């Protein structure tokens, strides 16, 4: 290697990758901390296990604010009504969007990966429990804002 030249991994792409890794790890830590700090499991108070269910995000520590809505949950209730009329088993006419929040499979998989909900990877959204769909929708809202729903509410 020439004197004064940095190794190839020292270029701008390395630092971008490093920054993205730090952000992803921080989001994962925040999600795990939020989910364990007062979150209610999808199994409910009885403590029974529900197949395909994941722990719910805490509703008291949601850091998303949506203009025009008192809480993020209020916004998601609006989305649920607009997208599927509160039908958790809904499938769009095109067959491309699923569940109460009409999320496509790629967005679902990316969101569950991002949120660390790996047990929900490749589960078709409309086949997930309502609690799991709510949790993924909240994770998507926290991660991407209202953009995935194109301003339906």
40, 56 contact by CB (below 8 A): yes
Domain at 65-149: CATH architecture: Orthogonal Bundle (1.10)
Percentage with pLDDT > 90 across the chain: 52
Tell me the three state secondary structure of residue 66.
coil
Rounded Cα gap, residues 11 and 76, in angstroms: 41
**How many other C-beta atoms can be found within 10 angstroms of the C-beta atom of residue 69?**
16
List the alpha helices (DSSP H) in 59-125: 72-84, 105-115
Rounded Cα gap, residues 35 and 8, in angstroms: 39
The predicted-structure confidence for 23-39, as pLDDT tens digits, reads as follows 444 444 344 433 433 33
Domain boundaries, the chain: 65-149
* Confidence at 43, pLDDT banded by 50, 70, 90: very low
Rounded Cα gap, residues 72 and 95, in angstroms: 27
Joined together, the tokens standing for residue 87 give: 């039908």
Which of 44-58, 119-133, 139-153 is predicted with the least confidence, judged by mean pLDDT? Answer: 44-58
pTM above 0.75, yes or no: no
Beta bridge partners, 103, equal: 98
Contacts of 48 (CB under 8 A, 6+ apart): none
């Amino acid at each position: 290697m020439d004197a004064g030249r940095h190794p190839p991994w020292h270029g701008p792409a390395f630092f971008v990758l490093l920054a993205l890794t730090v952000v992803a790890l921080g989001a994962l830590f925040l999600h795990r901390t939020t989910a364990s700090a007062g979150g209610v499991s999808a199994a409910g108070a009885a403590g029974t296990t529900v197949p395909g269910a994941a722990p719910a995000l805490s509703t008291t520590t949601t850091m998303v604010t949506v203009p025009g809505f008192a809480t993020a949950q209020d916004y998601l209730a609006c989305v649920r009504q607009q997208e599927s009329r509160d039908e958790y088993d809904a499938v769009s006419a095109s067959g491309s969007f699923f569940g109460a929040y009409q999320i496509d499979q790629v967005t679902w998989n990316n969101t569950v990966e991002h949120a660390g909900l790996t047990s929900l990877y490749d589960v078709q959204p409309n086949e997930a429990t309502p609690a799991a769909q709510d949790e993924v929708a909240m994770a998507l809202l926290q991660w991407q804002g209202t953009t995935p729903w194109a301003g339906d509410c």
